[in-house]
Amino acid sequence: MERFSDRLRVTSPRKEIQRERVDHSLKSKLWNLLIDDIWGQVEFELYEVGVSEHSGHYGLLKNIWHNYLSISYDTIPYEYKDAVKYLRGHFFDGEWYDPLNFIEFIANSFSDPSEAQKFCDEANTTLKIEMSAYRFVDRKLVEITSEVEIESIESAISVAEPFPGVKTHLQAALSKMSDKNSPDYRNSVKESISAVESLVKNITSNSNATLADGLAVLERKHGLHPAIKKAFGYMYGYTGDKGGIRHALMEESDLDVDDAKYMLVTCSAFVNFLISKIA
């Protein structure tokens, strides 16, 4: 949901992918997931009588204290709510990676594989919405937006400085993909391919050239390998067929962030390649 202050342009929603960073919004949503799936499952009586050594929750706390925090059991607060409060401090006030370390530990603490999978799926939904660079795969958090991919996008935007249209398209693609409030993956893909199309028109000095025409010129004049020409030609066809992205043939599309990210990374790499080639 768009905020009032964003509409006034006083503030703006985060646009960049969260890599080696976990902002307060992501921390809060991950903690809420823990409340729903872990902390909120405790019976009310435990708040009155303390943590029973025979309860599953005490076993979980012992596991956390021993295997995650590496501190002695006798520091576990008597009241369950105090134990959760202690963990909350570690979660919110530690290093950027502490919340991710913790949810990964919790994911691997489930004895029931189906419950573990449910937790990981819910966490992945949150990580995706909040534009985190990390996802659960087989109960392990892995980086799905590598440093190389991020550098490719950033480099393409930088080297496209002499080509304003190219830079504008790439920035628009990134903005539309990373808007967590109302992401527009369909038009993000369109902007990505338009960046390449714009560059091809510039370097062929033909404002009416299609990407296919431009690729043919690049093959003749700049030694573009036929396999690369064919591969990018196929991808250009994809943007016309899948949901009618370029030609607006359909009102809706099944594209998601993975489609948009793939196209942005690939087109950024191609922009870097072409600019280097003509240089």
Cα 257 from chain centre: 8
Highest mean pLDDT among 29-38, 201-210, 218-227, 252-261: 29-38
Residue 130 has pLDDT above 80, yes or no: yes
First to last CA, the chain: 44
72, with CB counted inside 10 A (0-12, 13-18, 19+), is exposed
Residue 21 has pLDDT above 50, yes or no: yes
Structural domain boundaries of the chain? 18-143, 147-278
DSSP E strand boundaries for 160-238: none
- pLDDT-derived band at 254 (thresholds 50, 70, 90) equals confident
pTM: 0.61
Gap between the Cα atoms of 148 and 84, Å rounded = 38
Gap between the Cα atoms of 190 and 76, Å rounded = 54
Tell me, what's the pLDDT at 154? 84
Lowest mean pLDDT among 4-18, 96-110, 124-138, 161-175: 4-18
- pLDDT-derived band at 137 (thresholds 50, 70, 90) equals confident
- Helix, strand, or coil (residue 262): helix
Residue 48 has pLDDT above 60, yes or no: no
Read off the pLDDT of residues 101-112 as tens digits, 9 standing for 90 and up.
999 999 988 888
